Amino acid sequence: MRLHLKICSLIALLIFAFAGRAIGTVMTSYTIDGHVGAEVAAFPSAYGTAGSGTLNLTLIPAGAVIDRAYLYGNNYFASVTPSATFAGTNLGPTTAYDTNGGFSVYRWDVTSLITGNGSYAASYTGMTNSYGLALAVVFSDPSLPLSRVLINDGAFDFYPVPITLSTTFNAFAGSGNLWIHTGADNDGGIGQTGEQIIFNGTVVGGPIDANLGPYASLFDLPVTGLNGTNTAEISDPADQFGWDLAVLKTPSGGVAPVPEPATMLLLGSGLLGLWGARKKFRK
């Protein structure tokens, strides 16, 4: 019996290892169903080593529960260990969350620091060529309609061009919203424009020409979801830039909340019995 438990535990650990995120891709890292909503905020920074700004949230109902909040930074052409502050709190240094080509993405969990709507001061240091910060927040409240929210994050480097890159969501049919954040995109200069944001085969946005300010863009786009796989893609004819974040909200389909893969594995391992060691899962 003891040997059987050890074998099952080893299998569970191997499943978790091989089910982890792929390197150099924007993919789903968080999914939640229920009376939930989402908001994405960002500010730009012109290829600096440090930057600061304000991230404004306006969609959170009073008294809502903050389910998840991530702060994202990005950098080009160097492997660095940047530090960040958020809402007066030093978040400390972190290594790259994901890297693709010359584009690296950094992520800090700031769930406990979101208190509702408001303006949140944020800053970073330790970069070489960075293009600002982005904030993705997911919240729940009984006043919100039943929805599914998915956070897809990681690193896509649009080089060499022309190139089209895509990310997929497992969602439901109905009207929804798609948020897209990019960094290092040009301001529409000659030969550096014409990008299209495409959702399930329909062009819903673009071009990507630094709509936030110096070299960063944020889109909040109305979209129509499908039951099952939904695809968001960016078609880029000429400009080199990075894509680090895509958030999708659709109706939930009336399903129960979906645990994250790490949570599902933890629950499954618990059914195998107490096997003597605690496994630390990435949040």
Angle (deg, nearest 10), helices 2-18 and 261-271: 180
Q: What is the mean pLDDT of residues 213-237?
A: 97
114-123: average pLDDT: 98
**Is the peptide bond between 237 and the residue preceding it cis, with omega within 30 degrees of 0?**
no
Over range 88-108, report the average pLDDT.
97
pLDDT in tens, 141-192: 999 999 999 999 999 999 999 999 999 999 999 999 999 999 999 988 888 9
pLDDT at residue number 191: 85
Specify which residues 69 forms β-bridges with: 137
Q: Which residue has the higher pLDDT, 110 or 272?
A: 110
* Claim: this prediction has a pTM higher than 0.75: yes
pLDDT at 47: 85
Q: Which residue has the tokens 């480097």?
A: 157
Q: 238-250: per-residue pLDDT in tens?
A: 999 999 999 999 9
Cβ neighbours for 234, distance < 8 A, ≥ 6 positions apart? 156, 158, 164, 165, 166, 180, 182, 195, 196, 197, 198, 206, 208, 243
Whether 106 contacts 82, CB under 8 Å: yes
> Rounded CA gap, 68 and 96, in Å?
20
For residues 240 and 263, what is the distance between their CA atoms, to the nearest angstrom? 37
Q: Which residues, at least 6 apart from 190, have a Cβ–Cβ distance to it below 8 Å?
A: none
Cα diameter, the chain: 69
For residues 181-208, give the mean pLDDT.
95
- CA atoms lying within 13 Å on the CB side of residue 71: 32
The structure tokens listed for 237 are: 């004819």
Q: What percent of the chain has pLDDT over 90?
A: 77
CB 281 within 8 A of CB 262: yes
